[in-house]
Structures are given as C-alpha cells and as structure tokens.
Amino acid sequence: MWLVYRKELLELVRDRKTLFFVIALPLIVFPILFGIMGMTMAKAQLKEEQKVHRYAIVGGQYAPQFVEKLFYHKSFTQVKPLQITAQNAASLVKQGQIDVAIIIGPDHQQQLSDSQQSQWQVVFNDAQLTNRIFDRIKALVNEHNIAHRQSRLLALGVDESRQAGLIKPIVLTKVDTADKRENIGEKLGGIIPYILIPLCLVGAVYPAIDLGAGEKERGTLETLLLTPIPRTYLVLGKFLTILTTAILSALLTVSSMGFWVALLGSVMNMQVIKVAFGTIGLFDLLLILSLLMPLACIFSSLLLAISIYARTFKEAQNYMTPLNMLVFIPIVGALVPGVTLG
C-alpha cells in the first residue's frame, strides 16, 4: 500500500498540472483573487460613502430648517429642475436628472402645531444594494425630529434637563457575556467552511481524475493491476494520495491567506485583523484539521470511485461537476438560523 502511495505521489509531483492545482493555485492564485475581491468591495464601499447625491425638494418652504440642514450636508447637492412637482418627481428620478426627491406636504406646519404626524415622501431608486440615500435622509430627519421635540417641550415649560427623561425614559446598556474570542469565532465560523470545504474538494478533483480515468486513458492501470499487490492496497494507496492532496491544498490556502492577511495587517495597521487572528492558536488549527479530515476522506473516496467508474478523463470531469454543487448544501445548512452543530 505504501509503495503504491509513494509511486502515485511521485507521479503527481512530476505532473505540472497537479503542481499548479495543489500548490500554485492555493499559494498564489486564490490569495490574489480574494485580495482583488476585497479591494474591489472596499473601493466600491468607499465610493458609495463619498458619493454626492443630487436632490430636489417639493414644498421646502414648509420646513426651512430641514432644507438648510440638507443644503449644507456633504453627501447632498441641490438640483433645481425647471418644474418639479409631486407628480413628476418619480419620472425625474427614473430619467436620471436627480437621485432623490423629498416631498413635503403644504399642511406640514399645521400638523406639527396640532401635535400630529407629518407624512413626507422620499422618491428614489432603491434597486442598488449599496444605496444609502434613504438612510442618510432618515438620519437627517431624525435630527430634525429631535430639535422639534426639544423646542415643543420648551414651549410647554419643560426644562432641558428633564427632556431626556421624557423623550427617552429607558436607556439600554449592552453587557455581553461572551468574550472577544467567542464573538470572533461565532462570526468567522460561517466564513471558514466556505473557504476550507470547497478548497478541500478542489485539491482532490484533479489528482482523483488522473489516478483513475487518467490511468485508463494512458493504459497504465492494467499494468498496475498485473503487479503482485492486493487490490485493496492499490485502492488504499490511491485513496491516501488523493486525501493528501486534498488536505495539502486546504492547508496551503489557509496558510497563504493567513500570511498575506497578517502582512497586510501589520503594514496597514488593521487592528480588527490583528485581534481576529490573535485569538486563533495552534490548538484551534489542530481542531480545524481534525474536523477537516473526515470530510476530506469522504471527498477522496467519492472522487476516486467516480474516477474509476468513468472511462475517459472528460467523462470523469462531467461526473464530478454535480458534486461541486452538492458541496455547498451542508455549508448553507450550517448557516441556517437556529441550527446548532454538535
């Protein structure tokens, strides 16, 4: 069995494609892809935060204080179309002439005087996931509401020192019983499977195809079967080879990502990254490896069985494609709210 294992490993090491999928891909390609993805997301988020929205107000004369606050806000710039009404505000947004329109009713002041709620409309396109127009306007409206409440309470003879108890009589203070390690582990626990499980499968796919269907196409499998080695040892030798590449691919990827993240954290002074990785010790890594071993064994056995069953290299690839989709089912299931893994 160990002779077969040694022979298969040597053949995989001599194969450039295997070296690329097992070593180069996790060490270089995956960290670069994740880095580009992270930089793109960070750049898009920064661009959205710095974006200046074009707005127009219908009935701004009924709320001059809010109009002034919005006018001097850094995230908004006022656009004055020739004719803007409550009826054509939506069409102006769809045409791209403005980003958002705020419609204030003519009875706004009367409703406030009668201690009634005043209904405003915010017209904008909410199809974009990163759209923060409504949240920014809502924050400004909340500030306007607080100022109005304070002025009304002062008019009613309520001193400023007593207003906080009337406006917000109960203040909640969060006391978290979970330590920093538990908090970080709970958040990272849903991300780690998305990285390790697919990588474990990717690292085993190509060697499995090569050790089964590949040897059939090359005609070396028949020669191997003629050797005086029990069939069980042949299967176990190939299985251990695939298992080794699966574990090695996952470990190399995690080690490479950890190295690059730690390097960026030290260069860019990212305190969050330092704290997150500072809570992961050697014992935690050993636990991750022990949990990954049974899963890698299942993947290796399935891939080897499929590869031996397939008649050609291409046929084996077609059979293994659905397995890539099935891998994500337990990952998603583990993230369902209320599911506790035991």
Q: What CATH number did the domain enclosing 161 receive? A: 3.40.190.10
Q: Give the DSSP letter of residue 168.
A: -
Domain check: are 159 and 216 in the same one? Answer: no
Give the residue among 263, 252, 273, 285 at the shortest CA–CA distance from 28: 252
Q: Could you tell me if 89 and 163 lie in one domain? A: yes
Q: What is the pLDDT of residues 151-183, one digit of tens each?
A: 888 888 888 778 888 778 888 888 878 777 777
Predicted pLDDT of residue 231: 84
**Higher confidence at residue 131 or residue 58?**
58
**215-231 mean pLDDT:** 81
Region 94-102 average pLDDT:
90
List 57's β-bridge partners, or say none.
102
Distance CA 80, CA 87 (A): 16
Mean pLDDT confidence for 287-307: 85
My answer on whether 96 and 13 are in the same domain is: no
Query: In this structure, what token pair is assigned to residue 262?
Result: 């730690």
Residue 76 φ/ψ, nearest 5 degrees: -135, 145
Co-location of 291 and 210 in the same domain: yes
The first and second tokens of residue 256, run together, are 């490479």
- Tell whether 221 and 321 lie within a shared domain: yes
Q: What is the pLDDT of residue 278?
A: 58
pTM: 0.58
Determine the Cα–Cα distance for residues 328 and 333; give it in Å rounded to an integer.
8
Give the Cα separation of 121 and 84 in Å (integer): 14
Residue 235 and residue 106 share a domain: no
H or E element at residue 325: helix 313-326
Are 162 and 190 within one domain? no
The count of structural domains within the chain is: 2
Read off the tokens for 223. Answer: 């020669």
- Residue 290 backbone phi and psi in degrees, to 5: -65, -35
Q: Among residues 167, 201, 230, which one ends one of the domains?
A: 167
Domain match, 82 and 207 both: no
> Above 60 in pLDDT, residue 316?
yes
Q: Which of 167, 202, 228 is the last residue of a domain?
A: 167
pLDDT at residue number 122: 92
Domain boundary among 120, 145, 167: 167
Q: Which domain holds residue 98?
A: 54-167
Does residue 125 lie in a domain region? yes
Count of helices and strands (H, E) across the chain = 17, 4
| pLDDT averaged over every residue in the chain | 80
| Residue 59 maps to a domain | yes
Are residues 124 and 193 located together in one domain of the fold? no
**Residue 48 within any structural domain of the chain:** no
Clarify whether residues 161 and 184 are in a common domain: no
Per the listing, tokens 């251990």 go with 240
154 & 229 share domain: no
Residues 309, 192 share a domain: yes
Q: Between 41 and 97, where is the model more confident?
A: 97
Q: Residue 171: CB partners within 8 Å, gap ≥ 6? A: none
Within a domain: residue 41? no
The verdict on residue 45 lying in a domain is no
Which of 23-37, 202-216, 310-324 has the weakest average pLDDT?
23-37
CA distances from 120 to 63, 77, 131, 144, 331 (A): 11, 19, 19, 13, 44
State pLDDT tens for residues 244-262. Answer: 888 887 777 777 766 766 6
